[in-house]
Amino acid sequence: MLEEPDIDSSIILLQQTYDFAKGKNYQWGMAEACLDIARCYFMDDNVDSALASLDKGMNVYPAMPDSMKGEFFGEYAAEYGSKGDMRTALIYIRQALPLIKQYGDDESYCISCANAGIYYRHLGMNDSAIYYYRQGMDLAIKTGDIESQNLLANNIAVLYGEMERYDESLKFIDQAIENAQKAGDEHGVLSAIGTKGDMLVLSKRYEEAADMLLAAYPRTDSTTNPLRTKARLLTPLLKSLYHSKRPEHRAQFPHYMERSQQLIAQLEPNSVQGAGLLTTRLALQVDDKQYAQGLQTIAQIEQILPHQMATPRNKFYSNKAKCLAGLGRYQEAYQALNEAYIAADSIKNEEINNKLSQLTASYEMMQKELEVTHLSQQHERNKTRIAILSAILLALLAALGALMFWTRQRRQQAQMRETRRWVEGIEQERARFARELHDGACNDLLAIGMQLRANKPDVQEVNQQIGTLRAQLRNLSHELMPPQFKDGVRLDEALNYYLSHIDGLKVDFHADGQGWDTIPSETAYQVYRITQEAIGNIITHQPDAQVKISLTPSRLNVVSTGKMVQGDGRGIGLQSMRNRAESINAELKTSSQEDTFLLTLDFGTA
């Protein structure tokens, strides 16, 4: 009946199954019926009823085995993900993954990895999303699971688009559309077409996107969940119609904009599809210079942000800055633009780009392996001699593939360990910034507040405290702000500006030599960040130090002299500097003797 689909009749039969199991006091049957009923409600876009059914199943069978818990946790994650509550979905999918891997089938594990990647991506945690996409794709390739490969390829394509790697994204999507068409998966075809529409719009191929999406939109009524499918296609369709140069496309824009408003009202407030329509509306309002209306849409999106990142953070804050600036609120616009720069720096992280390149290589290898399989099947229908030669060739390829797989597995395990260490390091660094804000800025603000509430506040002391607070926040903001070396900024200029704006630390900086313009932008960026890390360590462990920094186009020297303060062991400064030096093939040396800290970075061959 679900294939028809006849969801209402399916629910009635499953309820009868539950009643029968209840009469026999068969807890396993009762729980399994509740799980299947929840899946029916999910297909009918009735998430609240689905969650209630899952809760009922957990209550009637509290001692259920881990194999069933894995299915329940996975379904909980899917329901909350559908509602747009990505944080809660992550809690459940983390519990589900190890249980499904141990007790479930390979297809379920691939789908769970794809869902985990979606939840992380919507929270702006692209490095974790790539980790799970890769796990799922490797298993799907290994087991020959084409449907899981298509699902993962679709999601990876979205991530490529957010990273502005459109050609690779379209390669993944075209393959996913072709495979979904061969499998007769209409929902998969339309979902992939929606993603391809996004990529074509981002590539400014508006007319091509509009023609494709207009042809596909009427087919949404035949899917099991037309509301979500319509919303998925409308997001790129509205942008393509608005920007298209063809009059017939522009004429249809008001009609589909009205449909999008109706869908927003019908969808869950925090749903992924509703969030997509809201961000599309914001982008069009900004293009139309409707800044006041844009801020109203931003307020709606900000209500979603605690649950999911409805759009890449750099684009969201950039649009917010444009609206604020358009209304003359320049100070707020500057703050939003600063957030956009920080987010852009995170999104374009080279580590994430490297991992995406590895995913592309894995997927292309899978395509080549499939082509070899098709050729082998064709040769089997030819003469006996060709069949024997083909069998020998396949045996050799299998041996080579086994060797490559073993080698790739070893490399991937090392890369995954490095990824986990990197993610843990970033989380610790974020925690460090949080502690600095809490222990420094928050305590200073509390002291200022207490002074102001006094009968006779000491104005001189308040001014001094405000100056200290301003210096702390200024140093922190300069540490976070990424330099734009690709825009003509030189390394010696960027460091001179940064070091001259540090409050509370005496820094003597000298830059000598010629050829600053020949330093690669990535090398300059990493040298800049290593200097920031060194200054941060000195401020933490030698707050009263005198610092001398010398720089040439091939070498950085940092010497700080002053009483050292023992750290708490939670920082990652030195390890972070080593990782950055390795990324540009530079040699980093550090040493501490009595009250002197030395750092030397040779990057002339980087």
DSSP string, 451-479: HHHSSS--HHHHHHHHHHHHHHHHHHHHH
Strands 555-561 and 546-552: antiparallel
> Which helix or strand (DSSP H or E) is residue 245 part of?
none
pLDDT of 373: 45
pLDDT at 494: 87
For 488-602, give the CATH class: alpha beta
pTM of the predicted protein model: 0.48
Residues in a beta bridge with 511:
551
pLDDT of residue 372: 38
Q: Which pLDDT score is estimated for 59?
A: 94
Cβ 277 vs Cβ 260: under 8 Å? yes
For the chain, what are the domain ranges?
Answer: 349-482, 488-602
Q: Which pLDDT belongs to residue 560?
A: 94
Q: Can you give the pLDDT at residue 238?
A: 92
Q: Which residues contact 492 (CB under 8 A, 6 or more apart)?
A: 511, 516, 551
Helix, strand, coil shares of the chain as percentages rounded to 5?
75, 5, 20
The Cα 483–Cα 495 span in angstroms is 9
Q: What is the pLDDT of residue 555?
A: 94
Per-residue confidence (pLDDT) for residue 350, from 0 to 100: 45
Residues of the chain with pLDDT under 50: 347-352, 355-356, 359, 361, 365, 368-376, 569
* Distance (Å, whole) CA 316 – CA 509: 37
